[in-house]
Amino acid sequence: MIMDKKPVRPELVEGPSFSSATGERKDSPSTSSGQAELGSICGKLSQNTPLAPLVWFKTGGAAQWLFEPADSDDLSQFLARLDPDVPVLALGLGSNLIVRDGGFPGVVVRLGKAFAKVTADGLTLNCGAGASGILVSSTARDAGIAGMEFLRSIPGTVGGFVRMNGGAYGGEVKDILVDCDVVRRDGTLVTLAADDLHYSYRHSELPDGAIVVAARFRGQAGEPTAIQAEMDRIAASREASQPLRSKTGGSTFKNPDGHKAWQLVDAAGCRGLTIGGAQVSEKHTNFLINTGDATSADIEALGEEVRRRVKAQSGVELQWEIQRVGVMK
Rounded to an integer, what distance in angstroms lies between the CA atom of residue 99 and that of residue 146?
35
CATH number corresponding to 245-325: 3.90.78.10
CATH number corresponding to 116-225: 3.30.465.10
Quick: pLDDT tens for 213-257.
999 999 999 999 999 999 999 999 988 989 988 999 999 999 999
Beta-bridge partner residues of 251: 287
Q: Do domains 17-113 and 245-325 have the same CATH topology?
A: no
**pLDDT tier at 22, thresholds 50, 70, 90:** very low
- Contact between 175 and 147 under an 8 Å Cβ cutoff? The reply is yes
Residues 6+ apart with CB under 8 A from 295: 59, 101, 276, 277, 329
**pLDDT tier at 29, thresholds 50, 70, 90:** confident
**pTM to 2 decimal places:** 0.86
- Contact between 77 and 31 under an 8 Å Cβ cutoff? The reply is no
Q: If you average pLDDT over every residue of the chain, what do you get?
A: 89
Domain ranges of the chain: 17-113, 116-225, 245-325
State the first-to-last Cα distance of the chain, in angstroms, to the nearest integer: 17
Residues labelled catalytic? 202, 251, 321
Quick: pLDDT tens for 119-155.
999 999 999 999 999 999 999 999 999 999 999 988 8
Q: Which amino acid is at 160?
A: G
| CATH label, 17-113, candidates 3.90.550.10, 3.20.20.140, 3.50.50.60, 3.30.43.10 | 3.30.43.10
